[in-house]
């Protein structure tokens, strides 16, 4: 009560963490972040944080409290990446609390919190090879095959594919103008995400055949229901794609595996990573390198074969007996 008595914090700003998150933080996230991001914050709050900290007083929370929460959550055998997301969410809660005057200190207590180094490493993500893409396209019916081809040959995200209109396909490029998540349409994820993506012939042929099948439209959603509303790729995945692949003995790794596949396949074909970044429309080439290019053992062997050949060429050009003696 000393804080109240000294008048440094209005009583209406002294809340439990639960009241603050429900009444201030989550409404802020819904207003200022993308729908998928705000939904992720709510899921983390409901599933992990609410059961252990909703009744704690926000203003009294210290770094050691947050550390205990994270340790308690980590005891459920969660992976390191999941714990990073939870820590980031807690940090965001206190950032908003500081900015809006609900937390009496200017330093975020999460700054001093650490994730257990023994937490499970994340599983390696998948990137479709060109051969896997060919097999998947061979068994998928339309329009699922064309939608998957956009992901695999242009690298668009699921929400971007769902938001594509025929007006966005022009001059041999796909222009990303919107993204749809759970029926909510927003602009591109970032400024760079709105950059046009060149369309290769194999994808162009599929798009034009798809246009013919649906009546030669010049506007409106490229992938649409009969009502001309954008088709849900989540439903397309569960109703059509996964059953078709299961029947063919193929595995579905998700839409993003196609985006990673484009990055990895371009890399294996010798395309510089800066060019791959441009195609995927990342803001930072390190994102492309770290999360989207997935070299495997064959890539390593191939690189060492190049080294082996270079050494052989050097030995041929400059036999050992002709080399000068170094004094």
- Dihedral of the CA atoms 110, 116, 120, 125 (nearest 10)? 40
Interatomic CA distance for residues 151 and 174, integer angstroms: 12
- pLDDT, greater one: 67 or 319: 67
Give yes or no: residues 242 and 100 share one domain. no
8-state DSSP, 47: I
User: Which contacts qualify for 127-130: CB closer than 8 Å, 24 or more apart?
Assistant: 127/257, 127/260, 127/261, 127/263, 127/264, 127/265, 127/292, 127/294, 128/152, 128/253, 128/257, 128/258, 128/260, 128/261, 129/261, 129/264, 129/265, 130/261, 130/265
Mean pLDDT in residue range 25-34: 95
Give yes or no: residues 137 and 218 share one domain. yes
Is there a domain that residue 45 lies in?
A: yes
Give yes or no: residues 40 and 170 share one domain. no
Give yes or no: residues 263 and 135 share one domain. yes
Confidence of residue 49 (pLDDT cuts 50, 70, 90): very high
Give yes or no: residues 146 and 95 share one domain. no
Instruction: Check pLDDT > 70 for residue 300.
Output: no
What are the strands of the beta sheet with 197-198, ordered from one edge? 169-170, 173-174, 197-198
pLDDT at res. 319: 58
CATH number at residue 80: 1.10.150.130
pLDDT at res. 320: 54
CB count within 10 Å of CB 164 equals 26
Instruction: Check pLDDT > 60 for residue 75.
Output: yes
Give yes or no: residues 159 and 202 share one domain. yes
Confidence of residue 198 (pLDDT cuts 50, 70, 90): very high
Mean pLDDT in residue range 220-244: 96
Interatomic CA distance for residues 218 and 107, integer angstroms: 54
Strands 169-170 and 184-186: unpaired
pLDDT at res. 96: 97
Confidence of residue 322 (pLDDT cuts 50, 70, 90): low
| Sheet strands (E) in the chain | 169-170, 173-174, 179-181, 184-186, 197-198
pLDDT at res. 192: 77
Give yes or no: residues 137 and 54 share one domain. no
Write the pLDDT tens digit of every residue in 158-183.
999 999 999 999 999 999 999 998 88
Instruction: Check pLDDT > 60 for residue 139.
Output: yes
Mean pLDDT in residue range 87-92: 97
Type and span of the H or E element at 42: helix 35-44
Confidence of residue 324 (pLDDT cuts 50, 70, 90): low
- Provide the domain limits for residue 88: 2-112
Give yes or no: residues 154 and 101 share one domain. no
- pLDDT, greater one: 195 or 95: 95
Give yes or no: residues 255 and 168 share one domain. yes
Instruction: Check pLDDT > 60 for residue 321.
Output: no
Burial (CB count within 10 angstroms: exposed 0-12, middle 13-18, buried 19+), residue 194? middle
Give yes or no: residues 152 and 225 share one domain. yes
Confidence of residue 73 (pLDDT cuts 50, 70, 90): very high
| Closest residue by Cα to residue 65 from 98, 107, 117, 110 | 110
CB count within 10 Å of CB 74 equals 19
Confidence of residue 5 (pLDDT cuts 50, 70, 90): very low
Give yes or no: residues 178 and 83 share one domain. no
Q: How many domains does the chain have?
A: 2
Is there a domain that residue 312 lies in?
A: no
Is there a domain that residue 308 lies in?
A: no
CATH number at residue 198: 1.10.443.10
């Amino acid at each position: 009560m000393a804080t109240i008595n000294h008048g440094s914090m209005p009583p209406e700003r002294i809340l439990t963490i639960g009241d603050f998150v429900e009444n201030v933080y989550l409404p802020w996230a819904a207003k200022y972040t993308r729908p998928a991001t705000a939904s992720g914050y709510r899921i983390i709050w409901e599933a992990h944080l609410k059961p252990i900290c909703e009744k704690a007083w926000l203003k009294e929370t210290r770094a050691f409290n947050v550390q205990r929460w994270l340790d308690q959550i980590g005891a459920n055998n969660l992976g390191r990446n999941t714990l990073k997301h939870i820590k980031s969410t807690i940090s965001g809660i206190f950032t908003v609390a500081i900015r809006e005057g609900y937390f009496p200190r200017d330093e975020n207590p999460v700054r001093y919190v650490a994730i257990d180094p023994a937490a499970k490493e994340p599983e390696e993500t998948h990137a479709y090879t060109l051969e896997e893409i060919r097999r998947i396209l061979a068994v998928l019916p339309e329009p699922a095959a064309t939608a998957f081809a956009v992901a695999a040959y242009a690298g668009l995200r699921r929400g971007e594919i769902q938001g594509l209109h025929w007006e966005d396909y022009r001059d041999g490029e796909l222009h990303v103008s919107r993204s749809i998540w759970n029926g909510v349409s927003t602009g591109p994820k970032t400024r760079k995400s709105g950059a046009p993506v060149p369309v290769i012939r194999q994808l162009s042929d599929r798009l034009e055949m798809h246009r013919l099948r649906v009546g030669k439209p010049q506007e409106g959603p490229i992938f649409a229901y009969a009502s001309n509303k954008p088709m849900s790729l989540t439903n397309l995945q569960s109703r059509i794609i996964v059953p078709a692949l299961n029947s063919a003995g193929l595995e579905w790794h998700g839409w993003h595996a196609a985006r990673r596949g484009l990055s990895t396949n371009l890399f294996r074909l010798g395309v510089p990573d800066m060019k791959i970044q441009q195609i995927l429309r990342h803001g930072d080439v390190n994102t492309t390198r770290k999360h989207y290019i997935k070299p495997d053992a064959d890539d390593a062997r191939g690189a060492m074969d190049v080294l082996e050949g270079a050494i052989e060429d050097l030995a041929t050009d400059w036999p050992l007996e002709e080399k000068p003696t170094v004094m």
